[in-house]
Copies of this chain bind each other. A is one copy, B any other.
Amino acid sequence: MKRNLLLTPGPTQLPARICQVLGEPIIHHRTPQFQGVLKEVTEGLQYVFQTKNDVLILTSSGTGGMEAAVSNFLSPHDQVIVLEGGKFGERWTELCQMYGIKAHVIKVPWGKAGAVSDIKKILGAQKEIKALFVTLVETSTGVTTDVRAIGEALSGTNVILVVDAISGLGAVELRTDEWNVDVVVAGSQKGLMLPPGLAFVSVSPKAWALAEKSTCPKYYFHLKAAKKAAQKTDTPFTPAIGIIMALNESLLLIKNEGIEKLWARYARLAQGTRAAARAMGLSLYADPACASHAVTAIQVPSGIDGEKLTKIMRDTYGVTIAGGQEELKGKIVRICQMGCVDEFDILTGIACLEKVLHEMGHQFTLGSGLAAAQKIYNQK
Contacts and interface: CB of A to CB of B under 8 A. Distances in A.
Interface of A: 4, 6, 8, 10-11, 13-14, 19-20, 22-29, 31, 59-64, 66-67, 71, 94-95, 98-100, 187, 189, 195-197, 216-221, 236-243, 314, 320
SS class of chain A's interface: helix, strand, loop or mixed? loop
Residue among A25, A62, A196, A320 with most chain B CB within 10 A: A196
A59 B60 CA distance: 5
A98 B218 contact: yes
21 contacts: A4-B25, A10-B238, A11-B29, A20-B23, A22-B22, A26-B189, A29-B196, A31-B320, A59-B196, A61-B237, A61-B239, A63-B220, A63-B238, A67-B220, A189-B238, A196-B238, A196-B240, A197-B240, A197-B242, A240-B240, A242-B242
Contacts of A237: 61-64
Contacts of A196: 29, 59, 238-242
Number of copies: 2
Contact of A23 (B8, B22, B26, B243): B22
B23 A94 contact: no
A187 B241 CA distance: 14
Considering the complex of A and B, which 4 residue pairs feature the smallest CB-CB distances, nearest first? A23-B23, A197-B240, A195-B242, A63-B237
Contact of A25 (B19, B98, B239): B19
A217 B216 contact: yes
Given A31-B320, A243-B197, A219 B67 contact: yes
A192 to B, nearest CB: 13
B219 A61 contact: no
Contact of A238 (B11, B216, B219, B220): B11
A235 to B, nearest CB: 9
Given A11-B29, A61-B239, A217 B217 contact: yes
Contacts of A239: 61, 196
Contacts of A26: 6, 11, 13-14, 189, 195
Given A23-B23, A98-B217, A99-B217, 20 more contacts: A4-B27, A6-B25, A6-B26, A10-B238, A14-B25, A20-B23, A26-B195, A61-B220, A61-B238, A63-B220, A63-B237, A64-B237, A66-B220, A67-B220, A95-B219, A187-B238, A195-B241, A195-B242, A195-B243, A217-B217
A246 to B, nearest CB: 9
Given A23-B23, A60-B220, A189-B238, A28 B13 contact: no
A66 B95 CA distance: 20
Given A98-B218, A217-B99, A219-B67, A241 B11 contact: yes
Q: Name which of A95, A237, A242 has the most chain B CB atoms within 10 A of its CB.
A: A242
Contacts of A238: 10-11, 61-63, 187, 189, 196
A221 B61 CA distance: 11
A194 to B, nearest CB: 9
A67 B95 CA distance: 17
Contacts of A94: 219
Contacts of A29: 11, 196
A82 to B, nearest CB: 14
Of listed A29, A67, A238, residue having the most chain B CB within 10 A:
A238
B320 A219 contact: no
B60 A60 contact: yes
B217 A59 contact: no
Nearest to A10: B238
